Chain A
Amino acid sequence: MTPTEIIPLLIVVLLLLSASGAEPDTMSVVFDGNQTLDGAGENSAVVVGGGSVTVPANASVSAPLFVVGGDLRVDGEVEAVRVLAGNLTVADGASVTGQLEVVGGRATVATGANVASRSDLVGQLQDQSPTRSPAGFLFQVLSLALVAGLVARRNPTLLANVGDSVTNHALVSGVVGAIAGLALLVLFVYMAFTLVLIPLSVVGLAAEFGVVVYSYVVYGYLIGRALPIERVDVASAAGAGLFVVALEALGAVPLAGVLGQGLLVAVGFGAVLITYFGLREFEPAEIPG
């Protein structure tokens, strides 16, 4: 793994540790070689970023373990393991007394191993598709519809201005959205690596997410205008609901669907930015001649 590939994963670990109240600067990271964890004096988190780490049969490790690269083999007892990338093997007779979370990578648990609790994010994501989890999806639709209805009722001009950029200046909106979205994402991720700026990084990422949600509301407003509903707030709410459904359906199309989703997000993100969240209509620079 290169530094660029591993840094985001380490940042995720840092964020998880910060969220759990632990001291992120005390964690130890293993990048290469063959190492053994016997549990003695292991109070801070251990991150496996490369190489091979083994918890022997007679050892008990209470510190949280993270796998972001390389291999972790558990023959003894560990409390909690999170796998973001890399490989985890829990052998026969070994035990995970707490939670085993698999976000990415590969986790192999022998039939004779004892795992108190296991969660698999990939499986959960699959479970969250509308057909498998209608309640969750309905919640998303209703939430966005509610926000769209409220914003449209209070200040429809904001949505109209952003919507104008989406429809009439889609190219420039998409360019600004793509470059700003990507650059800000990288910036916030790298900010987190400074540790000092972790709170700012979290706020920044949340703000980016907020802009995306706002753009979804705008799409809802645009769809709502085409619906035979007179009240703008009701139309926007209905449009937002339809948009979420359409976006989900689009995601089901292999490759082209994901590209289409990305394009919609980029255009919406850029349109929100270039109109200052709809506070003013975007007017391209005038070029004489």
Chain B
Amino acid sequence: MRFVDHVRAGEWHTVLGYLLFVALMTAGYYYNVTFVQLGLIDLGTRLVGLSHTAVSTWMAALALLTFVVAVAVGVTMDRRDWSTDLRLKLRLLFGVLVVQFVLTAVAPHIRSAAAFGAWIVIASCALGVGFPVSFSLAIDFVPVPDRGPVAAVITAVTYFLANAVPIEWSIGAFSLLMVAAMAPGLVVLGVVAFDLLKPIERLVDGLALQHREFGTGRFCHPTSIRTRSLAFLAPVALMFGVFFVDSLGFLRIIETPALILTSWQSPEFSTRLAIAVVHVVGALMAGVLYVNFDRNGLFLWVFALFGLTYVLYTSDLRVAALFPALGRDAPSIVNPLFYALTVSFYTTLNFALWPDLSTAETIGTHSAIGVGMAGWLATFVSTAVALYLDHAAVGLLTHLNLVNALALLFFLALAVGIYLRRLVAVARGRGGDTDAASDGEVSG
């Protein structure tokens, strides 16, 4: 890892960059997977008194609005050259954090649908500004060869904390924890962003120039990847598929007490610890694979693992349907462990991929479209589909079977796509360099 070289060389501004990036992304992602994804459901249904469908609709609106705001902000960042202005990005992020701090503190006190709606709209805007800005910090903070390992560390820490630290899935508990964590974070980010201490100012000066060295992503050699190219749109579509498959399946799993209370919300600490450890192992594995293989291989792994995970879930349900006596026992821990492994794989890929498909001139747009389409729009669409399936009274087995079919379909389509591309390359008489070409062009 280059990180060790920087420590040995005493390049402390670069070391600070690593730490800041990991801290910011971990905090941001933890906030998303706990407070936003779980806390808001509790707030809407329990405290505001909305129906589950209404809350899901609001969540979908949040995802869509976040996506729209993010694309607008990302494109603006690139057009106005904000992407290479580190201090401006840090100040924008500070502003986002202030808004989120206030929103997080007031959330448990919301009691009306109108206030809930207003909260969603403001939060969407903050998130929409926050994630393209935070993802774009990769070009300032993380050397290209270390993006896989850094992404793995972010994923590992986030999911370990989210699973191993016992916290009730309620808006009150989340709010209290987040406010306590965000307060010192606000102070630190304020000091860094507004040059409040001279030594820190010098370190930030050093960081502000690093985009010249770290700015061009792994897949942008020898030529940069354009936004309207297959080399960018193919990974966007694949990552959309990954998030969609995950979200559509997990939305149903968390609504099934028998599945969720024996895994992610198990009262047994050992169960949650096992899930947390598998998340860590999965993230570190994905980090190793990301560094050693091209991104196609990782996508194949992710879809294959999702397919396998849902085969396990659906097989259990089929057996339980055939032999009801078996269904009375607690579901196996094996299934959520495979699920955790898969989620860690693609989350690591997601953190490293978008900066590596970008240059300093395109990082805002690419991370906004990439994360926005894949993460937020996929969530919006999957929520809509889940609501439809819910209204259609589709059973658990049918629902998960559908998700399984999607995962296998993506896996097959990607495998066929890779094969056909090589076939075309061979037919054109350049079979020998297809692997090299795959990194710079479509392989993704």
A contact residues vs B (CB 8 Å cutoff): 1-7, 29, 31-33, 49-51, 169, 171-172, 175-176, 178-179, 183, 186-187, 190, 193, 284-289
Contacts and interface: CB of A to CB of B under 8 A. Distances in A.
Given A3-B332, A183-B304, A186-B308, A284 B291 contact: yes
Interface in B276-303: 285, 288-289, 291-294, 301
Contact of A186 (B213, B312, B326): B312
Residue among B320, B330, B332 with the highest chain A CB neighbour number at 10 A: B332
A187 B411 CA distance: 15
Given A2-B332, A285-B291, A7 B285 contact: no
Contact of B218 (A31, A172, A186, A288): A288
A288 B334 contact: no
A180 to B, nearest CB: 9
B48 to A, nearest CB: 37
Interface in B153-195: none
Contacts of A31: 323, 325-326
A172 B292 contact: yes
B326 A289 contact: no
B316 interface: yes
Contact of A284 (B216, B292, B305, B326): B292
Contacts of A7: 315-316, 319
12 contacts: A1-B326, A2-B329, A50-B325, A186-B312, A190-B311, A284-B291, A285-B292, A286-B439, A288-B218, A288-B221, A289-B143, A289-B144
B308 A289 contact: no
Contacts of B331: 2-4
Contact of A183 (B288, B308, B316, B330): B308
Q: What 8 pairs across the A-B complex have the smallest Cβ distances?
A: A4-B332, A32-B325, A289-B144, A31-B325, A3-B319, A3-B316, A2-B332, A284-B292
B315 A175 contact: no
B95 interface: no
B335 interface: yes
A2 B312 CA distance: 12
A7 B292 CA distance: 35
A49 B325 CA distance: 10
B348 to A, nearest CB: 12
B145 interface: yes
B214 interface: yes
B288 A172 contact: yes
